Chain A
Amino acid sequence: MGGPRLVPFRLMPIDIDIAKVARLARLALSDDELERYRLQCEVVLEHAALVQTLPTDGVAPTSHPLPRTNAFRDDVVAGCLDREEVLAQAPEREGDYFLVPRILDEP
């Protein structure tokens, strides 16, 4: 008894709409790639779904391991970068602006 376990199990069939997820994540993948990733993700998720077998009623989620609150900075101006150093990294620029291909719509 003891030792780490890798127990594949199925709690609920996992059926990922991988095309939708790829769109949400802005990843242009071919159909073959999508299918391959879908299968791989489903295998991982089936294992990750193990978490659903642990009862957690009344248990609060942990988003920060460090129990801290009120980390503030003073409202003072400091730390701006030199524009040229910043724009030098731009894949495309026009004058003092970052240039991007046309934006289709407002968010």
Chain B
Amino acid sequence: MSDLADLTLTAAAAGLRSGAFTAVELLEGVHRRAAMTEAHLHAYLTLDREGAARAAVAADAGFRRSDDHGPLQGIPVALKDNMVTRGLETTCSSKILAGYLPPYDGTVVTRLRAGGAVILGKTNLDEFAMGSSTENSAYGPSRNPWDPDRVPGGSSGGSAAAVAAGSAMVAYGSDTGGSIRQPAALCGIVGMKPTYGLVSRFGLIAFASSLDQIGPLTRTVEDAVSALEVVGGHDPADSTSYPGPVPDYRTGLESGVSGLRVGVVTELNGAGIEPAVQAAVNQTIEQLEQAGATIVQISMPSVDYALSAYYLIAPAECSANLARFDGVRYGLRRRGENVEEMMSNTRADGFGPEVIRRILLGTYALSAGYYDAFYGQAQRVRTLIIRDFQAAYEQADVLVSPTSPTTAFSFGARTEDPLSMYMSDVCTIPSNMSGDPAISVPVGLDDAGLPIGFQVMAPALGEPVMFRVAAEVERRARFDARARFATSEVA
């Protein structure tokens, strides 16, 4: 029996328009899947059944009236719980925002609603988007649908798990150092981070302002294109929003890679990557060559410093972005003899250890006497990384690497040593530093049956060529997502 919950967005959109099923039926299918999987996956923090039902009914009415608001009309969508939704609890997976009801919708949410999307609810993440496994969530981790003893990746782990399991057709997450792409890779789905500024950050609870971007997690590359089309584009409410016209992602999607130059980044391939992962990546590179691409080895020396620079820039910006959580206007409040004590007790109690660590790091990196050696120097190194990317893109149209050095790891494997957790992002961080777009495409499984992700990076506003190469990778990989049900029986 073909389960509506397993349809791609593209197939579902076609079915809705052909009358094969209604949005209400589609939603019911996804809700049934959620009922089957949530008990052990814990992808969601909040499921808004009533809101979703209302939106599905409205979408169906729209279709009947021939009111077509685009590819996401009637499609069940999940949102990472760091995107504010009016009247719907938004916690960032933190105790400090338990019960918080935002009085406004973020821009991406507004555009999704205007596009007729059926918002299912809010997904689990590492607290305040800081982490690579959802083990930092104050409400318990999410599990990888491919193996419940393993992490789904993070910080958008809940979104990735939901899309992989079928309890969402499309999800949105945020990516600051790889938080969309890495969980997508670990869960065997597609996840992309757009060019910085292409998608509005208004309504995204900020972690690191110069690195954060909202992006889609989907089952296919074409689905990702649709998901991006609906939410991207200039937003006057976000000063860092790109003011120009959005690129046309769709036209060249099926053109293949003949004549394109694919750059293999030396510093991100080989040593330090799990052998099975590198093997799958190498095979994919060969496939691209067979498809007509020219393969070029490119060294980007400053990329070796990207992780270090990231762990100065991101904590510094987050230490200021999280200062607003002080118990005064919203969220948790703990007692104190005076307001300073109240704030300090609230924050110490409301934030988890990883968040506290990064706030401390960031505060230190900005403090008097240390600014220049740490934060200042990291920002200069960032310039060098950007220059390396610009030089690389003169020799190649896209750059490729594994998305994650390993496949999904076990719970508890990296929680004792923060640095080992940070290493999960070593391949994804460089494109956050440069602001360029990047996508992860599932290309195979390792011997334990765990998914492997292949990363394609492109220059700023180079989404068209990025999607085009990704589509070719997807075609050749013939990755079958349904294999997960063979390895993890759901109750």
Q: Which A residues fall within an 8 A CB radius of B?
A: 1-6, 16, 18, 21-22, 24-29, 37, 40-41, 43-45, 47-52, 54, 56, 59-66, 68, 71, 73, 81-82, 85-86, 88-92, 98, 100-104
Contact A1 B271 (CB under 8 A): yes
Chain B residue at smallest Cβ distance from A6: B423
Q: Which residues of the other chain, A, contact B236 by a CB distance below 8 angstroms?
A: 73
Q: Which residues of the other chain, A, contact B382 by a CB distance below 8 angstroms?
A: 61-62
Chain B residue at smallest Cβ distance from A93: B329
Chain A residue at smallest Cβ distance from B378: A51
Q: Which residues of the other chain, A, contact B272 by a CB distance below 8 angstroms?
A: 3-6
- Give the A-B pair count, Cβ closer than 8 A: 212
Given A66-B435, A71-B239, output 11 extra A-B contacts at Cβ < 8 Å.
Answer: A4-B271, A4-B273, A26-B344, A27-B347, A41-B357, A41-B364, A44-B311, A44-B357, A54-B377, A81-B104, A98-B329
Contact A52 B377 (CB under 8 A): yes
Q: Which residues of the other chain, A, contact B337 by a CB distance below 8 angstroms?
A: 101
Q: Output the residue of A81, A89, A101 with the most chain B CB within 10 A.
A: A101
Interface size class of B (residues with CB under 8 A): 35 or more
Chain A contact residues, majority secondary structure: loop
Contact A26 B339 (CB under 8 A): no
Give the segment of B8-16, B65-73, B261-269, B441-449 that binds chain A.
Answer: B261-269
A97 to B352, CA, bound (A): 30
Q: Which residues of the other chain, B, contact A2 by a CB distance below 8 angstroms?
A: 266-267, 269-271
Contact A27 B356 (CB under 8 A): yes
Contact B383 A61 (CB under 8 A): yes
Q: Which residues of the other chain, A, contact B328 by a CB distance below 8 angstroms?
A: 91, 98, 100
Which of B241, B304, B419 sits near A5, CB closer than 8 Å? B304
Q: Which residues of the other chain, A, contact B77 by a CB distance below 8 angstroms?
A: none
Q: Which residues of the other chain, B, contact A27 by a CB distance below 8 angstroms?
A: 344, 347-348, 351, 356, 359-360
Q: Report 24 cross-chain contacts, Cβ distance below 8 Å, ordered by A residue.
A: A2-B266, A2-B270, A2-B271, A3-B267, A3-B271, A4-B267, A4-B271, A16-B364, A26-B343, A27-B344, A37-B357, A44-B311, A48-B365, A49-B308, A61-B376, A62-B383, A65-B386, A66-B435, A68-B239, A90-B330, A91-B332, A92-B333, A101-B342, A104-B340
A16 to B362, CA, bound (A): 12
